[in-house]
Chain A
Amino acid sequence: MTPRTRLLLVLVGGAGIAALLVAACLRLPDFGGDSHPYGDRAVAASLARQTANTIASVNFDQRAFDTLGEMTILFAAVVGCVVLLRQTRDEHRARPEPADVARPVRRYALIVLPVALVTGLYVIAHGQLSPGGGFQGGVVAATSLHLLYLGADYRALERIRPVGMYEVGDALSASAYLITGLAGLIGSAAFLANTLLPYGTFNTLSSGGTVPLLNAAVGMEVACAVVVLLARFLDQAVEIEEESGK
């Protein structure tokens, strides 16, 4: 197929989809409307279980089983990337040479690194109270470590980032989520049911029953997963080279 006919085909098909989607949009409830039955019920359920951040309550209490699936997708993607980006037979590892870093970059990276790491951990810890949670905080914490790569060099990053440990951490935190769910099955009503622990005082760190536990497990899993993913991509970019003559 020539690019020209393909473009024509895309335009015809796209026009059809556009017409259907616009027709669907015109029948949607008005933007900004007041009728949100599911939202109202989710808020009521969240407040009944002393969870200040309703979104954390939806993710780790009302839809905790879906979050298990979401976490499994992340875990499977990490495994897939590790398999896809492994060192093959016709490649070898080269020691990366230390590179010069501009002084302002180094200074800024080293100042921001601890701040970013603590911010990430803060966002994870306060997931049940304020905006954020395990997913967001995990990404912040994991990327903060990589400021060392920008500010110093790859070897410094490797010293604080033993990838094997993070792979173990990824698996452990995924199992921690499962075990918390199983505890719900044994100790109370159902798998991942949030009826095991006391709900605590509203708007304190220990409120929300199992929400903080699941949130912490997800935070650790996301942080480890992002570190492992970035490590594999950095390996490809920095260390792994094809044999000469290929």
Chain B
Amino acid sequence: MDVLPYLVAVWIFLVGCYGLATSRNLIHAVGCLSVCQSATYVLLLAVGYRDDATAPVYSDIEPGSRPVVDPVVQALALTDVVVGATVTALLLALVIQVSKRHGTVDPDELTELRG
């Protein structure tokens, strides 16, 4: 059971990759990229977990009274979420432009170059 959370992260990542490769719709592909990225949240939080520990916030627990989970990876997960949101926003903006210029959001139909 010690590696199960890590394997879940691997599984989420691979499912996202499969979706990206077989996607027939760019909006769906952006969603798949978000799935890939959520694998990193699971991995980061799994790396930082500690048995019987609580959140590393000392506003209502006495410092030193309980073990806490690793705050460094939690901060990294926060960074990850922010970067993921910005990437999704930019990609969706690109999809809107692609759909306007080419009239399709199917990546297989976007083969020709157009000015």
Interface residues, chain A, with chain B CB atoms under 8 Å away: 3, 6-7, 10, 14, 17-18, 21-22, 25-26, 28-34, 36, 38-39, 42-43, 46-47, 52-55, 57-59, 63, 66-67, 70, 73-74, 76-77, 80-81, 84-85, 129-131, 133, 135, 202-203, 222, 229, 232-233, 236, 242
Contacts of A129 in B (CB 8 A): 57, 59
Min Cβ gap B13→A in Å is: 7
A233 touching B92, Cβ below 8 Å = yes
Min Cβ gap B95→A in Å is: 10
Residue of B nearest to A130 (CB): B59
B75 touching A58, Cβ below 8 Å = yes
Is chain A's interface secondary structure helix, strand, loop, or mixed overall? helix
Chain B 78-95 interface 0/1 with A at a Cβ cutoff of 8 Å (1 = within): 110111001101101110
Summed over the interface, the residue pairs from A and B with CB atoms below 8 Å come to a total of 152
B57 touching A55, Cβ below 8 Å = yes
Cβ contact of B71, chosen from A42, A66, A81, cutoff 8 A: A42
Contacts of A55 in B (CB 8 A): 56-57, 71, 74-75, 78
If A55-B57, A84-B90 are given as contacts, then 5 extra A-B residue pairs at C-beta distance below 8 Å, sorted by A number, are: A18-B10, A22-B7, A31-B2, A59-B75, A77-B86
Indicate if B3 sits at the interface (CB-CB under 8 A): yes
